[in-house]
Structures are given as C-alpha cells and as structure tokens.
Structure 1
C-alpha cells in the first residue's frame, strides 16, 4: 500500500524516525494494525513550507488476539 503524509520538517522527521506505524481500525474490526514503512521519499512543497513523505507500507505479521 502506498501512502503520502504532508507536514512540517519536524513532523516528517518524526515519521521517518519510526519505521513502524500503528493505525487504528474501525470499531468492530482489528483495533490496531502495525505497518512497516519502507521506500520513503521526501519532497518539498514548491508553494509553501510543507514537505511530502511518500512511502510504501506493508502490514507486519504477528500474533493476533
């Protein structure tokens, strides 16, 4: 799955420092899913001070309750 995040330099740096992201799921589904971030590419917004992080996510395998 490919994702994009837009944010300030500080926000994008925080995301890149953590190669594993936890995403909350819907109420009746799996409550938390863990994804590994890889192939990250960062570009600057030509019209402002935001940065764009484009990356691939893959769901991490593990035990599920």
Structure 2
C-alpha cells in the first residue's frame, strides 16, 4: 500500500528516522498495528513550507515487531 504524509521538515524527519510505523487499531482485534516503511521519497513544495513523504507500507507480522 502506498501512503503519503504531509508535515514540517521536523515532523517528516521523525517519521523517516524510524524503520516502522505503529498505528492504533481501534476497531481491530490487535490494539497496535506495526507497518514497515520502504521505498521512501521526500519532496518539498517550491516555497519549502510543506514536506511530503511518500512510501510503501507493509504490515509486519507479530514476531517481526519484537
């Protein structure tokens, strides 16, 4: 699955520093879902105020998260 995040340079840098993303699964049997980010691309708008990170996302299995 391909996802995009928009934010400041600092916010996007925090996302890029982690090899995985944890998401709360409120209506899911598991309370927290872990996803691995790969094929990450970062772009800025011409004025440098908004940063866009796009990446492929794949759900990690239980043992991979530990």
TM interval, shorter chain, is 0.7 to 0.9
Q: Is residue 48 of structure 2 the alignment partner of residue 51 of structure 1?
A: no
TM-aligned CA deviation for residue 53 of structure 1: 0.1
Structure 1 unaligned blocks of 5 or more: none
Q: TM-score, normalised by structure 2?
A: 0.84
Following superposition of structure 1 onto structure 2, how do residues 26-65 of structure 1 map, counting pairs within 5 Å? Answer: 26-27=26-27, 29-46=29-46, 49-63=49-63
Look up the SS of the partner of 1:26 in the other structure: coil
Output the CA distance in 2 between the equivalents of 1:26 and 1:33.
Answer: 10
Structure (1/2) with the larger helix percentage: 2
Quote the RMSD (CA, aligned, Å).
1.6
Displacement over 6 Å in runs of 4+: none
Aligned length: 63
Structure 2: runs of 5+ lacking an equivalent: none
